[in-house]
Chain A
Amino acid sequence: MTHNFPVLIVTVPLLSAFIISGLSWVKKSLCFPVALLALGTSVFCAIGLLFRVLDLGVVEYHMGGWMPPWGIAYRVDLLNGLMLVIVSLVALTNLVATHRTVVADFPEKHGTFYTLYVLFVTGLMGISVTGDVFNLYVLLEITSLTAYALIALGQPDRAPLASLNYVFIGTIGACFYLLGIGYLYIMTGSLNMADIASLLPPIYHSKAVLVAFIFCMVGVCTKMAFFPLHVWLPNAYTYAPDAATSVIAPLMTKVMVYVMIRLVFSVFLPDFSFHVLHISHAFVWLACLAIVMGSLLALSQKNIKTMLTYIIVSEIGYMVGGFWLGNRLGMSGAILHILNDAIMTLCLFLAVGNISYKIRELDFVHLKGLFRKMPITMAAFVAGGLSAIGVPPTCGFFSKWYLISGAIQAGQYGFMLALLFSSLVNVVLFFRIIEIAYFEPMEPHNDTTGLKGSIIEAPLTMLVPLLIVAVSLVVVGIYSGDIVTTLIAPILPKGIG
């Protein structure tokens, strides 16, 4: 049983997705429990797998018993062990928290929604667990296709157009990645990550390997919405249904950052990426640009959900920049920030989901007096906001601390300034919302209940997961030292100073 964890993580949700789509014809009320069971199994397997990796080191699983260079291998080390736990836990929490929203938003179609949801999570798990570059492409497309469909279920005026734009740009991104691995295949004749890594060193100076690297990176950067390639993200995430945004926003971009780290660590190797190529500076400067522009664009928004999407754009800059600093502190900060940003984004978007469940409007003007109406939701929102700003003891502070220390150690003061700038902008962004929601008087016309000034808090099934996420912001923050020493430090390759 424990031996099969790597494959169960993917197959259980995959098969459940088919069962759910069948059940949606027979008995709709069973769709949610099956999805819950499937993702629960994934969480169980992911946590079991992480402990197994901590005990035994790298876990490998050969599909159908075919040995690696020929067959597809699933390879789990601490980095993707951690990713699997993040993905499965975020997906499960969001599934529970948004059940009410889904039933309310899609009374007829929630079977379809859950099918897509579980398939989406399957794709993300597969991307995290696989050790084969082409398998990664296929799972990437499974994830993207379901994400397109989930986004298109949103606001009927705008969502299809936003989703179609995402289809165009996302497909170009995936195609570039496919081209990149095509060049790798020409040069090495292999698709297995470990095998490619062992064959590449003698041909590091070949132009074809350089082209492969560039194509792969452009593809991955498009998919993760790294600044100049981010244009699809804000609209797609804003007009998606709330229940979908709060799973796509925390996971999709973070998993793509993981793919970038995986490509550098296990395919091209850090030696090539940092010493042969000399492009780490360019990446860090692009990341600075991403952080500053993301923050500035967030400042000009009037809708809370759109504002958060631009914050994601700048957070992607944190992770990419921190990683390409090329020292242990920066990389630890970047990997820790994947975890922290996933929790943080989940917390903020769940809170936004609760607000939209009750108020239906997310423009700033409709938020007046919200602290009195939804005190618990707003408290969780403030916790998420503080973490995005980087206030101790929330987890956002600690990853930012690692990133800034890394920037100073690498002498990248521009990156440090960009991080500080974005923290200051986040202060403005979140305190503006707190001011509107706390101090400004309520307007009678947006009081949908008719009971002026009374509490209209979201139901318990939405509040409890939100509070758990908000508390975990602080818990992860307090234990971030342990997380870095036990989980993240062993991942980093030896050559990194």
Chain B
Amino acid sequence: MDVLIHHIIGKYNYWLYTILMMIGLYAMIAKNNLIKKLVGMNIFQTAIILFYVSIACKKGATIPIIEEHGGSVAGHAIRVADYINPLPHVLMLTAIVVSVSTFGVALALAVKIYQKYKTLEEDEILMRLRDK
């Protein structure tokens, strides 16, 4: 039982990101509407962002801006454990940019498809393509 609790409660961030990711993946596979698929894709990407941000966390640590002790840092050794790891956040800024631009390109394509077929339901589009 202890092992189970350790695995579920102790690592809840991994469980959360996995569940979110699966919700996104499910939407991308099972939904028929192209916009819903896109939202699924966005959830999928956001889950990964959450994963990265959560691994930077440290218990009792603060934001990674060095506190000045009486005007000079030199006198004090900086304790790494006091500050959360900023690198994953920086990486995720880039990943957010990527996901926003992917979403933008995908929405532009969806607009094009809508102009052409007057619908965003995938089965209707495929049916029309088959009729041709």
Binding site for B on A (CB under 8 A): 134, 137-138, 141, 145, 148-149, 152, 156-158, 160-161, 163-164, 167-168, 171-172, 174-175, 178-179, 182, 185-186
Contact = CB atoms under 8 A, between A and B. Distances in A.
Contact of B98 (A141, A149, A168, A186): A141
Contacts of A163: 109
Contacts of A134: 91, 94
B88 A185 contact: yes
Interface string B46-62: 00100110010000000
Nearest to B90: A134
B48 A179 contact: yes
Top 7 closest pairs, chain A to chain B, by CB = A160-B112, A164-B109, A141-B98, A167-B106, A160-B109, A160-B113, A148-B105
* Centre residue among B37, B109, B112 by max chain A CB count within 10 A: B109
Interface string B6-43: 00000000000000000001001000001001000100
A427 to B, nearest CB: 33
Contact of B106 (A164, A179, A186): A164
B6 to A, nearest CB: 15
Contacts of A178: 48, 95
A373 B55 CA distance: 64
A26 B43 CA distance: 40
Contact of A172 (B25, B51, B106, B113): B25
Contact of B105 (A145, A179, A182, A186): A145
Interface residues of B, number: 28
Main secondary structure of the interface of B (DSSP, over half): helix
A156 B116 contact: yes
B112 A179 contact: no
B41 A168 contact: yes
Contact of B109 (A148, A171, A172, A174): A148
B129 interface: yes
A171 B102 contact: yes
B102 A167 contact: yes
Given A145-B102, A172-B28, 11 more contacts: A148-B109, A152-B112, A156-B116, A160-B112, A160-B116, A164-B113, A171-B44, A175-B45, A179-B48, A185-B88, A186-B55
Nearest to A166: B109
A145 B103 CA distance: 10
Contacts of A138: 94, 98
Contacts of A164: 34, 106, 109-110, 113
Contacts of B105: 145, 148-149, 167
B109 A152 contact: yes
A270 to B, nearest CB: 28
Contacts of B125: 161
Contacts of A186: 55
Interface of B: 25, 28, 34, 37, 41, 44-45, 48, 51-52, 55, 88, 91, 94-95, 98, 101-102, 105-106, 108-110, 112-113, 116, 125, 129
A361 B108 CA distance: 28
Contact of A182 (B55, B98, B102, B113): B55
A171 B41 contact: yes
A374 B34 CA distance: 42
Contacts of A152: 108-109, 112
5 contacts: A138-B98, A148-B109, A163-B109, A171-B41, A182-B48
Given A172-B28, A182-B55, A158 B102 contact: no
A138 B102 CA distance: 12
Contact of A168 (B28, B112, B116): B28
* Centre residue among A145, A148, A164, A182 by max chain B CB count within 10 A: A164
Contacts of B109: 148, 152, 160-161, 163-164, 167
A182 B37 contact: no
* Centre residue among A141, A152, A168 by max chain B CB count within 10 A: A168
Given A148-B105, A171-B102, A161 B113 contact: yes
B127 to A, nearest CB: 13
A161 B123 CA distance: 12
A157 to B, nearest CB: 7
Nearest to B91: A134
A163 B52 CA distance: 29
A141 B102 contact: yes
B61 to A, nearest CB: 16
Contact of B101 (A145, A161, A168): A145
B45 A171 contact: yes
A119 to B, nearest CB: 12
Contacts of A156: 116
Contacts of B113: 160-161, 164
A175 B44 contact: yes
Nearest to A148: B105
Contact of B52 (A145, A161, A167, A182): A182
B116 A157 contact: yes
* Centre residue among B28, B95, B98, B129 by max chain A CB count within 10 A: B98
B98 A179 contact: no
Contacts of A182: 48, 51-52, 55
Contacts of B108: 152
B129 to A, nearest CB: 7
A168 B39 CA distance: 11
Contacts of A179: 48, 51
Contacts of B41: 167-168, 171-172
